[in-house]
Amino acid sequence: MKSKMMFVALCLLLATQLVQAQSLDEKIGQMLLVGFRGADVSKNPIIARDIQKNHLGGVVLYEKDNSTASPVRNIESKEQVLKLTTELQKLAKAPLFIAVDQEGGKVQRLDGKYGFKNHKSHLELGKKDNLDDTKATGKAIGSELKNVGINFNFAPSVDLVVNKQSLIVAKLFRSFSDNPETVYRHAKAYIQGLHESGVISSLKHFPGFGSETGKKHEGFFDISNSWSESELEPYKKLIEDKDVDVDAIMVSHVFLNKYDTKYPASLSKTVITDVLRTKLGYDGVIIGESPQTKYVIENYGLEEGIRLQVLAGVDILQFANNLIYDEDIVPKTVQIIKKMVSSGEISEARIDKSYKRIMKLKAKLSAQ
């Protein structure tokens, strides 16, 4: 108990030190997490510029470059990834989030061909229903990530496998179960395993992607007729459970007219603030799926997508920068948000709220 209290005190001290006296540019930069090209920082001055000049808060690594169909983007080997992440952290004033999707099963950016282990899928773990095994899997994944300098895993998925034919969840074995209690128990064990290895996590895909049927509304997956309240249960239980820290929650590009008849969840203040923040009582970091995607840009435009996410309550705007690539997405987004703060569309107090949540989470990394 004493050691836990000392850890909490250290986190609060580090968070306070990181938050104090930062410029608006720095605070906005910390709200961005971006994908980039290159397996070597020295060969990519763009990412170095974004971290040093634009105060970029985080990066996400991918194995493939989908915009060029290149088989290599950021990942070639264990040694190369460690060198890359070490160089990235050296450029950063505050600890840099270095994230990856490493769930296990079919969703592993770091797999066997790069020298990493192939881990069990969520479905395998849920069917076995052994919490010790699930925790051990989370810990093993976390250890591999930690050993190559990756500190943020976009996992676990807490979707319920409602539709057994779902392309996003069921077909990729990304759900522990169709039972909310089972999903909660295994997600908790998985997160605890990651934490024991010193890696933070993000639940996904809020408010639930497991009932997806392929039907779309203006380009977004429409779950209005297939979704049920039970899909919120794993989130509710994990948020309320004092024995597990929910570091972050990722909100997805799904359309759910029960809560919002105009905007998808990732742009919806009703879903993000009214449901996730107020109804479920979550006060940690919220990550939005990319406002850079084709269907956001086609329906709203980049500026409006960014504005809607910030006003909805998103703390970290995630730009995969992969299917669509823009080497200036970071300075462009910083200027878009600054202009909106200047015009009064977005208050600086709104930016401060996100910045403080982000720095509190980064203090956890600093204390490890």
Strands (E), the chain: 32-35, 58-60, 97-100, 102-104, 107-108, 152-153, 200-206, 216-217, 220-222, 248-251, 254-255, 285-288, 316-319
Walk along the chain (368 residues) and give the pLDDT tens digit of each residue: 555 555 555 555 555 555 555 899 999 999 999 999 999 998 889 999 999 999 999 999 999 998 887 788 999 999 999 999 999 999 999 999 999 999 999 999 998 899 999 999 999 999 999 999 999 999 999 999 999 999 999 999 999 999 999 989 999 999 999 999 999 999 999 999 999 999 999 999 999 999 999 999 999 999 999 999 999 999 999 999 999 999 999 999 999 999 999 999 999 999 999 999 999 999 999 999 999 999 999 999 999 999 999 999 999 999 999 999 999 999 999 999 999 999 999 999 999 999 999 999 999 987 66
- Return the pLDDT at 22: 85
Helices (H) and strands (E) in the chain, counts: 13, 13
Contacts (Cβ under 8 Å, ≥6 apart) of 275: 207, 232, 259
- Return the pLDDT at 10: 52
- CATH fit for domain 2-367, picks 3.30.70.20, 3.20.20.300, 3.30.1490.20, 1.10.3720.10: 3.20.20.300
Domain boundaries, the chain: 2-367
The Cα–Cα gap between 191 and 158 comes to: 11
pTM of the model: 0.94
Q: To 10 degrees, the CA torsion angle through 301, 304, 310, 314?
A: -30
